[in-house]
Chains A and B, each alone.
Chain A
Amino acid sequence: MEMFLKLDFWFTVFRCATPVLFATMAAMIADRSGILNLGMEGAMAIASLSGVLASGFSGNLLVGGFVGLFCGTLFTMILAYFIMNMKANQVIAGIAMNLAASGGSIFALYSITGDKNTSNSIQSKAFPSVEIPVLKDIPVLGDILSGHNVLTYLAFILAIVLFIVLKKTKFGFKVRAVGESPEAAESVGIKVHRVRYQTMFLSGLLASFGGIYMSMGYINRWTAGMIAGRGYIALATNAMAAGNSLLGMFASLLYGFGSSIAIYLQNMNMDPYMVTMIPYLAIIVFYVLFSLYYRHKNKQHESL
């Protein structure tokens, strides 16, 4: 239990949660408009690689960040086109795109740099960590909450923004209407296709933020396979959050907490195979609990 007293432990929770939070929001906004976006893993891989390449060749962090976001979003828009215009099955198209991205990103790295595993030959840039002025002086809390990567703060701010957008704005209302009943939405003049393209655009953008955080924040280079399922875990955290991005924040932190426990337990020489399960197990257990709660709530609703 002594690990819970370590400040580094809690710091790690936020580091681990960040990419999953971005991906959770990406899954959520697409989900709310009625699209199952499975392409987050691929979008993150594409964004992380193109960000590193662009920042390495241009020598400019922002150019790298922009190109990363652009490529990841473009990837998601292609997926959106397949799903909406070509009427492809969402699951099959999403998985096919992810597989293409995992192989394609390595191929691209190899053709451009000659490296196959890591982008070692490129001096890429990373987003800086920032100290929060007042917060950093508070003992304990300052050590845990201050000094994170810019993108970590951005993720948590965006989670709050997304909550407000979905709940309070006209756009959010349209998104939810399209997601719940496209026919009804269409009958009142909402352009279903356009709204879904808009949400897929935002979804791609959010996933790409997760991608560039992986290779330009968390780690300062790209390695093959580095996304390592974080885009898929987001499907579970999104299901748990049930369309509420504040709950999504909680679910991502839960994953981060599980990961952090797994990392620190290994230091105490626990069995590594058992420990590796912890973050995933935590998500499954909480997902089941949440599902039971929602079902219970719905039943109450019906009985009224």
Chain B
Amino acid sequence: MKKLLNKVVSVALAGAMVLSMTACGSSASTAETAPAESAAAGTEAAAETTAATGDPLKITLCVGRTNDMSFQQSAYEGVMKVQELYPDQVEVNVVEMTDDTTKWEAAFYDAADAGADIIMGTGFQNLDNFTNIPQEYPDTKFILFDQGLDFEANELPNVMGVLFDSNQSGFLAGAVAAYYTQNENAANPDKTLGFVGAMEIVTITDFLVGYAEGARYVDPDMQIKTAYVGDFVDTAKAKDQSKAQIADGADIIFQVAGGAGTGVIEAASEVDGVMAIGVDADQYETMEDPALKEAVITSSLKRLDNAIVKIIGDYLADPASVGFGSNVTYGMEDDAVGIVFNDKLTESIGEENVANVQAILEKIKSGEITVDKASELTSDEINAIVAGE
């Protein structure tokens, strides 16, 4: 009896080891969505775009994980939407590469070898992968989100870098801040707003330029306090900087500081009537601590899902209309950036002001309001905009 038990245990252990090895070896779990009932009937549109090969367009999205509550998740939702919209024309694969970035390169090679037509990835971590791998697979298209590529130094006609108009979502954040700081929920009637960024670099000052312009669009007297942490990790310093801004009369602070930004939200949560604006993801949803949650009035968003739907839609209609071989910027007119509209926002600034913010959103979309871009300004010009000169 004991022998039998030993055998069972050892077989089970061996099985577990084999399983764990395959789990490591594959480096990625592949979640394959059913390739919509093979285009049996085939609509006219499908016939047009896939006539050459007769096969659906194979799209592979490689992300660290699909549930990061930030832009990787947004990308995942995007490709799922694409699958739903064009069931006969596309075949979507999603590869979860895990958070271990050393495994990512292999995952992209796997995807390319598996015959994907379009491979998508997200984030600055993939800059090298999307510069080197595409040169070996000239027939495969590559799209990298939220990171520009150097098309002058490299021959990359089959790659596209997708950037986002952060200045436009910053503009809405500024408008929200301006409405909030004057109403009765705010800690003080001062027209002072705060901004804490990670570093003074274009991807971050782009938010700031929009923030300042948005706030002054609502009320030209708004004053903006800015601080930069100096890195993306020093949470304690970010908290002290926020406290200093709060002491100077700021009762709403926009944080664009990566991991250190939690310190800004914590500082806001400690003072009644002070709120923080989150970034990239809906931080009201991502914060688990109830005290921090309640301090997040809204968040500026990057909607990768909408950008993906737009890009694939355009590609299916006419592959030449998609800007491969360059960096392309998507903004509010494509719903690729925005802010969170939720009950917390309504409760904080009132329905009337929410409607005002939505009106501003429409005006940016229609081009009635144009927001300056940090990449097109010098440092001095940015400082002048922030100071309101």
Contact = CB atoms under 8 A, between A and B. Distances in A.
Interface of A: 6, 8-9, 12, 15-16, 19, 110, 116-118, 120-121, 123, 214, 218-221, 223-226, 228, 259-260, 263-264, 266-267, 269, 272-273, 276
Contacts, number: 95
Interface stretch (B5-13, B237-245, B317-325): B237-245
Contacts of B243: 8, 12
A267 B240 CA distance: 12
Interface in B239-253: 239-241, 243-245, 247-248
A6 B241 contact: no
B259 A267 contact: no
Given A266-B241, A269-B226, A218 B259 contact: no
Interface in B210-260: 225-228, 230-237, 239-241, 243-245, 247-248, 258-260
Contact of B259 (A19, A110, A118, A263): A118
A116 B99 contact: yes
Nearest to A118: B262
A269 B262 CA distance: 22
B240 A259 contact: yes
Interface in B246-301: 247-248, 258-260, 262-263, 266, 286-289, 292
Given A223-B235, A228-B237, A263-B241, A120 B287 contact: yes
B230 A276 contact: yes
Interface residues of B, number: 36
Contacts of A118: 235, 259, 262
B171 to A, nearest CB: 20
A6 B248 CA distance: 9
A226 B262 CA distance: 11
**Residue among B226, B230, B235, B262 with the highest chain A CB neighbour number at 10 A:** B235
Contact of A15 (B228, B240, B260): B240
B241 A226 contact: no
B235 A269 contact: no
B289 A272 contact: no
Contacts of B225: 267, 269
A230 to B, nearest CB: 9
Nearest to B250: A267
Contacts of B235: 118, 219, 221, 223, 226
Contacts of A260: 240
B237 A273 contact: no
A264 B234 CA distance: 17
Contacts of A219: 235-236, 239, 262-263, 266
A110 B99 contact: yes
A225 B259 contact: yes
26 contacts: A6-B247, A12-B240, A12-B243, A19-B236, A117-B259, A118-B235, A118-B262, A120-B262, A123-B288, A123-B289, A218-B236, A219-B239, A219-B262, A223-B262, A223-B263, A226-B236, A228-B234, A259-B237, A263-B227, A263-B240, A266-B226, A267-B225, A267-B227, A267-B248, A269-B225, A276-B230
B120 interface: no
Contacts of A272: 200, 226-228, 230
Nearest to B286: A120
B233 A266 contact: no
Nearest to B228: A272
B219 to A, nearest CB: 19
Contacts of B287: 120
Contacts of A273: 200
A266 B288 contact: no
A277 to B, nearest CB: 10
A12 B248 CA distance: 14
A266 B263 contact: no
B383 interface: yes
B354 interface: no
Nearest to A123: B289
Given A110-B99, A120-B287, A264-B244, A269 B387 contact: yes
B227 A16 contact: no
Nearest to B230: A276
A228 B230 CA distance: 10
Nearest to B247: A8
B119 interface: no
A120 B225 CA distance: 27
A182 B227 CA distance: 49
B386 interface: yes
Nearest to A226: B235
Contacts of B237: 228, 259, 263
Contacts of A221: 235, 262, 266, 289
A214 B235 CA distance: 9
Contacts of A120: 262, 286-289, 292
Contacts of A121: 288
A16 B383 contact: no
B226 A228 contact: no
Contacts of B227: 263, 266-267, 272
